[in-house]
Amino acid sequence: MPSPSPERLVILDRDGVINQDSDAYVKSLDEWLPYPGAIDAIAHLSRAGWAVAVATNQSGIARGYYDKTTLAAMHDELERLVSEAGGEIAHIAYCPHGPDDGCNCRKPLPGLLEQIRTALGMTGLAGSWMVGDSLRDLQAGDAMGCRPVLLRSGKGERTLAKHPELLAEGSETRVFPDLAAFVDWLLARQR
């Protein structure tokens, strides 16, 4: 598969964007609950010729709440559901480390996005879209030249309450209620 152009790449955070988030962590496949419309939105993007990747902090592994096998089961289910809906996920990158582990992959650092860039054989990510529900998602994207999108789902409303500048006139951050609304806007803009 040829490398996607950055302008045709959407990078998604996972918890709070694709599936319901939990302050107690999403620790099992049973707790991994996709938002209504999120799977179809990903498949819709994919069918329209966009590459979709996922960049997710998963410090629950370092904290001992679940293991990599459990995380793989969640990601296998995500890929299965998207495939059933007629789409595909180009790559899933995750950080298994805790906040004090000193890794370079935990967002807001851009290591996960670097992993995606390498996995997809791209020279850069400038101009691609970084979609998240927290400031650290946007900061990781910003470090790689991605266009920022904040969703109000997940921790998005909390993020906006703490960072009202994201809604200020002149902010480059685009804000949408959820993933489906962003995808509808992006595909309509493309027409």
pLDDT tens-digit profile, the chain (191 residues): 678 999 999 999 999 999 999 999 999 999 999 999 999 999 999 999 999 999 999 999 999 999 999 999 999 999 999 999 999 999 999 999 999 999 999 999 999 999 999 999 999 999 999 999 999 999 999 999 999 999 999 999 999 999 999 999 999 999 999 999 999 999 999 87
Distance, in Å, from the CA atom of 51 to the CA atom of 113, rounded to the nearest integer, reads 14
For residues 165 and 174, give the distance between their C-alpha atoms in angstroms, rounded to a whole number. Answer: 12
- Six-digit token pair at 100? 């004090």
CA 151: distance to chain centroid? 10
**Collapsed DSSP state (helix, strand, coil) of residue 33:** coil
Q: Tell me if 136 sits within 8 A of 99, measured CB to CB.
A: no
Phi-psi region at 133: left, alpha or beta (left = phi > 0; alpha = psi -120 to 50): alpha
**Is there a contact between 168 and 138 (Cβ–Cβ < 8 Å)?**
no
List, for residues 118-143, the tens digit of each pLDDT value: 999 999 999 999 999 999 999 999 99
**From 15, 21, 133, 137, active-site residue:** 15
Percent of the chain topping pLDDT 70: 99
Q: Which residues contact 5 (CB under 8 A, 6 or more apart)?
A: 127
Among 15, 49, 50, 6, CA closest to 34: 15
Report pTM: 0.97
* Catalytic residue from among 13, 21, 133, 178: 13
**pLDDT at 170 (0 to 100):** 95
Active site residue 13: yes
Tell me, what's the pLDDT at 190?
A: 81
Please, which residues bridge with residue 10 across strands? Answer: 52, 129
Nearest to 131 by CA among 3, 68, 38: 38
Q: How much is the pLDDT for 1?
A: 62
| 14: Cβ contacts below 8 Å, ≥ 6 apart | 54, 55, 56, 78, 94
Q: Whose CA is closest to 57, among 145, 137, 142, 138?
A: 137
